[in-house]
Amino acid sequence: MADPVQGPIEPGQTIGILGGGQLARMLALAAARLGLKTIVLAPEKDSRPVLGVAWRHLDADYDDKSALKELAAHSAIVTYEFENVPVAAVKYLASRVPVAPGHGPLETTQDRLLEKRFLAGLGIETARFDDVTHAEDLATAGAATGFPAILKTRRGGYDGKGQVKVAAADELAKAWNELGKVPSCLEGFVAFDGEASIVAARGVNGEFAAFDLTENTHRNHILWTSRVPARWNGAMTEKAHDIARRIGAAFDYVGVFAVEFFVVGNKLIVNEIAPRVHNSGHWTLDGAETSQFEQHVRAICGWPLGATRRHSDAEMTNLIGEEVNAWAKLAEEDNAHIHLYGKREARPGRKMAHVTRTWPLGRFPGKPA
Amino acid sequence: MADPVQGPIEPGQTIGILGGGQLARMLALAAARLGLKTIVLAPEKDSRPVLGVAWRHLDADYDDKSALKELAAHSAIVTYEFENVPVAAVKYLASRVPVAPGHGPLETTQDRLLEKRFLAGLGIETARFDDVTHAEDLATAGAATGFPAILKTRRGGYDGKGQVKVAAADELAKAWNELGKVPSCLEGFVAFDGEASIVAARGVNGEFAAFDLTENTHRNHILWTSRVPARWNGAMTEKAHDIARRIGAAFDYVGVFAVEFFVVGNKLIVNEIAPRVHNSGHWTLDGAETSQFEQHVRAICGWPLGATRRHSDAEMTNLIGEEVNAWAKLAEEDNAHIHLYGKREARPGRKMAHVTRTWPLGRFPGKPA
């Protein structure tokens, strides 16, 4: 393990980033504002968004040791933009250069079962869940979760991929076959009133800060809108902050992370943890004193965390696939802030851009859905 | 002259920028947010701030025709970050690619005498002034302006360079010698109550938008602080907007420009025009719905102008030379937004960074000075 960072990383130094998508792009732009350079390691096919906004780009796979070495050599600190980077790459880097967040949160959040067990160990409520390693586990798991339930692969799922809904016990075997008989986790279905998330940050000395509770909607399992204020009251925000604080402390986390919740009555049930900046925090670019991207840079560089106050009410909407063609129309809207990711091809389901509409504090139009 | 832009410039296209300082840097970052690429032409010694934030950098002098050709070939539109780029370069580019703003505002604002005459022609009040081409003109000019006065070279002056204060008629000859007997402009001294500026934008179809009147202070002739709200009332903002609107229309201007004022009682006396984004508009990055940099990109690309509303009260402070070393201390302040320009050497008088402190609307602490 490399030595931990001694004192803050200074303007002029370089941040290494694994991954070259829109999150890396927005991290690079935030770093530039603070006088920090960025070097990105990502295979070319994924890295359009960072071309021209990062100082350097290493076009290589995440398991390319010579590229990882080069990344480490240039970087004062390395971070990652998504949780599916190989743990081995992060461990290899960590032997040469400080990495934040470390491989611990990565290992836990890459595996739905480990993630649920981690949360249960902290006494944080999740959906009922059970391990399904072999076909024989299906019946026990079904008894543990009840129905309806969702069978999810332990690893590699995102945006609704790697999961099948199961209405009753007799559908379990079919779902198991459909997912390819890979190690999975059966989760009880949560009949939620709404979905929410918290984007939080933890500094090198355990300093904690979190943005306001965000109310989210999804479409085809992909985040569609994020709104602040959420429709729930301040006590719910405090509960969410408390959960995030405990998660951050348990990981000894450094950087920004997100916790996604199901809201049931006045209960918050954790759905998942993302060890990175998060789509539901994009509104902070236009509605908060500090953006989640600057906050992540501050945290991993050992700077004090920035203020998380909102200066505006806000609603972020993702532009998926061809929806990006609405940019010209959106540019006419008086309160719309457009962010385009520089991707060439508007493939279906691909996050191409987002727009955040803002209003003066307290002037969010109508009650959130 | 190249054809004017047909329809808006689209995400994925490229903006050419002459100049590679902090204004180009912040333009490049704003363009990236909108999915636009940037290519910068600037000699290496000036271009540290844009390294790593622009898509490409052409390391060349402004009169290098092959570099200008290359810039034109890559760009859908070309703009400039400062008013001392050679008019010949802009004219050469304009024969190959649309340029905004054009060479007209450049020619006028590069010459203090032409600028004053342009303003006088619009019936806009300036300090009394007179042309000093030969030593024999000094006495007439002194009679026209009265004393104290300031003798300024017509061309090339900035941040207090190229000017000498003249207390009485018998000091004129000495000042003339000191400036090297170059074509100059004698200006009557304005005993002002304060200094202010307006940052405004004009779109391709004459659309006009301006930010709030900003109250400025200078130190050693270099901008030190900019505050919004200014201490003057809304009627003064309207006057300033009216002046900017008339200037923009007379130039048939496209892009962002600034007008600097002396405030005397309830009068606004124009000091100078900057045909570009302006240091006194940096607060818009953290206090307004649209930053002046995004506004310039929108204007020159034929997009609708963005909203100029403030969401916060704000005070911008320049960090000059060694003052940049305060970054770590400033990072601890709850309401300080730090912008570092990526310059290596903190030379005396060099603008290294700025910080903008923000407060909720109406909560500016105390009365501006």
The per-residue pLDDT for range A71-86, each reduced to its tens digit, is: 999 999 999 999 889 9
Query: How close is the nearest chain B Cα to the Cα of A29, in Å?
Result: 7
CB contact under 8 A, B307 and A34: no
Nearest CB to A289 within list B324, B335, B341:
B335
Q: How confident is the model at residue A188 (pLDDT cuts 50, 70, 90)?
A: very high
CB contact under 8 A, B303 and A51: no
Instruction: Please compute the mean of the pLDDT values over residues B241-267 and round it to a whole number.
Output: 98
Q: What is the pTM of this model?
A: 0.96
Please report the pLDDT score of residue A367 as a whole number.
56
Nearest residue of B to residue A360, measured between CA atoms: B311
Nearest CB to A331 within list B303, B335, B358:
B303
CB contact under 8 A, B56 and A52: yes
Q: What number of other Cβ atoms are within 10 A of residue A3's Cβ?
A: 7
With 70 as the cut, is the pLDDT of residue A5 above it?
Answer: no
With 60 as the cut, is the pLDDT of residue A147 above it?
Answer: yes
Q: CA B13 from chain center: how many Å? A: 25
Helix (H, G, I), strand (E, B) or coil at B32: helix
**CB contacts < 8 A (A, B):** 99
Instruction: Please list every residue in chain B whose beta carbon sits closer than 8 Å to the beta carbon of residue A33.
Output: 29, 338-340
Please report the pLDDT score of residue B58 as a whole number.
95
CB contact under 8 A, A334 and B8: no
With 90 as the cut, is the pLDDT of residue A33 above it?
Answer: yes
Tell me the residues of chain B between 55 and 114 that have a Cβ less than 8 Å away from chain A.
55-56
Instruction: Please compute the mean of the pLDDT values over residues A128-138 and round it to a whole number.
Output: 97
With 70 as the cut, is the pLDDT of residue B141 above it?
Answer: yes
Instruction: Please list every residue in chain A whose beta carbon sits closer than 8 Å to the beta carbon of residue B311.
Output: 311-312, 358, 360
Q: How confident is the model at residue A355 (pLDDT cuts 50, 70, 90)?
A: very high
Percent of chain B topping pLDDT 90: 90
CB contact under 8 A, B289 and A358: yes
With 70 as the cut, is the pLDDT of residue A6 above it?
Answer: no
With 70 as the cut, is the pLDDT of residue A1 above it?
Answer: no
CB contact under 8 A, B311 and A358: yes
With 50 as the cut, is the pLDDT of residue A103 above it?
Answer: yes
Q: How confident is the model at residue B179 (pLDDT cuts 50, 70, 90)?
A: very high
Residue B104: Cβ-neighbour burial (10 angstroms; 0-12, 13-18, 19+): middle
Nearest CB to B289 within list A32, A54, A335:
A335
CB contact under 8 A, B33 and A340: yes
Nearest CB to A53 within list B53, B327, B360:
B53
Q: How confident is the model at residue B51 (pLDDT cuts 50, 70, 90)?
A: confident
Percent of chain A topping pLDDT 90: 90
Please report the pLDDT score of residue B83 as a whole number.
87
Residues contacting B91, CB < 8 A, separation 6+: B103
Beta-bridge partner residues of B42: B59
With 60 as the cut, is the pLDDT of residue B368 above it?
Answer: no
With 90 as the cut, is the pLDDT of residue A303 above it?
Answer: yes
Question: Distance between CA B174 and CA A141 in Å, rounded?
Answer: 95
Please report the pLDDT score of residue B204 as a whole number.
95
- Between A106 and A1, whose confidence is greater? A106
Instruction: Please list every residue in chain A whose beta carbon sits closer than 8 Å to the beta carbon of residue B335.
Output: 289, 307
CB contact under 8 A, B12 and A344: yes
Q: To 5 degrees, how large is the angle CA B100–CA B101–CA B106? A: 135
Residue environment code for B162-198, b if the CB has 16+ CB neighbours within 10 A, otherwise e:
bbbebeeeebbeebbeebeeebbbbbbbbebebbbbb
Q: To 5 degrees, how large is the angle CA B37–CA B40–CA B45? A: 145
Q: How confident is the model at residue B1 (pLDDT cuts 50, 70, 90)?
A: very low
Q: How confident is the model at residue B54 (pLDDT cuts 50, 70, 90)?
A: very high
Nearest CB to B334 within list A54, A307, A358:
A307
Nearest CB to B312 within list A25, A304, A311:
A311
With 60 as the cut, is the pLDDT of residue A4 above it?
Answer: no
- In sequence order, what DSSP letters do the residues of A199-223 get, joined into one string? EEEE-TTS-EEE---EEEEEETTEE
Q: CA B292 from chain center: how many Å? A: 11
Run of H or E residues at B255: strand B255-264
Asked if B368 is an interface residue toward chain A (Cβ–Cβ < 8 A), one would say no
Interface probe for A, chosen from B13, B14, B53, B301 (most Cβ of A below 10 Å), is B53
Name which of A58-67, A158-167, A338-347 the model is least confident about: A158-167
Query: How close is the nearest chain B Cα to the Cα of A335, in Å?
Result: 7
Nearest CB to A11 within list B11, B32, B340:
B340
Reading the block at residue B252, the tokens are 């048939």
Q: Quick one: angle between helices A22-33 and A292-300, nearest 10?
A: 70
**B301: nearest Cα among B204, B210, B209:** B204
Omega within 30 of 0 (cis) for the link into A148: yes
Please report the pLDDT score of residue B6 as a whole number.
66
CB contact under 8 A, A304 and B331: yes
Mean residue pLDDT across chain A: 94
Nearest residue of B to residue A324, measured between CA atoms: B11
Instruction: Please compute the mean of the pLDDT values over residues B161-180 and round it to a whole number.
Output: 94
Parallel, antiparallel or unpaired: strands B184-188 and A267-274: unpaired
Pair B77, B9: CB distance under 8 Å: yes
Query: How close is the nearest chain A Cα to the Cα of B46, in Å?
Result: 16
With 80 as the cut, is the pLDDT of residue A198 above it?
Answer: yes
Percent of chain A topping pLDDT 70: 97
ipTM of this model?
Answer: 0.94
Run of H or E residues at B261: strand B255-264
Q: How confident is the model at residue B5 (pLDDT cuts 50, 70, 90)?
A: low
CB contact under 8 A, A327 and B37: no
Instruction: Please list every residue in chain B whose beta carbon sits closer than 8 Å to the beta carbon of residue A303.
Output: 328, 331
pLDDT per residue as tens digits for the range B293-316: 999 999 999 999 999 999 999 999
Interface probe for A, chosen from B340, B351, B354, B364 (most Cβ of A below 10 Å), is B340
Interface probe for A, chosen from B338, B359, B363 (most Cβ of A below 10 Å), is B338
Instruction: Please compute the mean of the pLDDT values over residues B111-128 and round it to a whole number.
Output: 97
- Between B141 and B7, whose confidence is greater? B141
C-alpha dist (Å) from residue A206 to A165, A246, A247, A300: 39, 11, 12, 12
Instruction: Please compute the mean of the pLDDT values over residues A135-156 and round it to a whole number.
Output: 96
With 50 as the cut, is the pLDDT of residue B369 above it?
Answer: no
Tell me the residues of chain A between 346 and 365 that have a Cβ less than 8 Å away from chain B.
353, 358, 360-361
Q: How confident is the model at residue B367 (pLDDT cuts 50, 70, 90)?
A: low
Asked if A312 is an interface residue toward chain B (Cβ–Cβ < 8 A), one would say yes
Please report the pLDDT score of residue A156 as a whole number.
84
CB contact under 8 A, A51 and B54: no
Nearest CB to B35 within list A33, A334, A342:
A342
Nearest CB to A34 within list B289, B311, B340:
B340
Query: How close is the nearest chain A Cα to the Cα of B48, in Å?
Result: 11
Q: How confident is the model at residue B189 (pLDDT cuts 50, 70, 90)?
A: very high
* A22 φ/ψ angles, rounded to the nearest 5 degrees: -70, -25
Helix (H, G, I), strand (E, B) or coil at B153: strand
Beta-bridge partner residues of B14: B37
CB contact under 8 A, A361 and B360: yes
Tell me the residues of chain A between 3 and 42 that have a Cβ less than 8 Å away from chain B.
8, 11-12, 25, 29, 32-35, 37-38
Asked if A340 is an interface residue toward chain B (Cβ–Cβ < 8 A), one would say yes
Q: To 5 degrees, how large is the angle CA B111–CA B114–CA B120? A: 140
Query: How close is the nearest chain B Cα to the Cα of A364, in Å?
Result: 14
Nearest CB to A52 within list B55, B312, B361:
B55
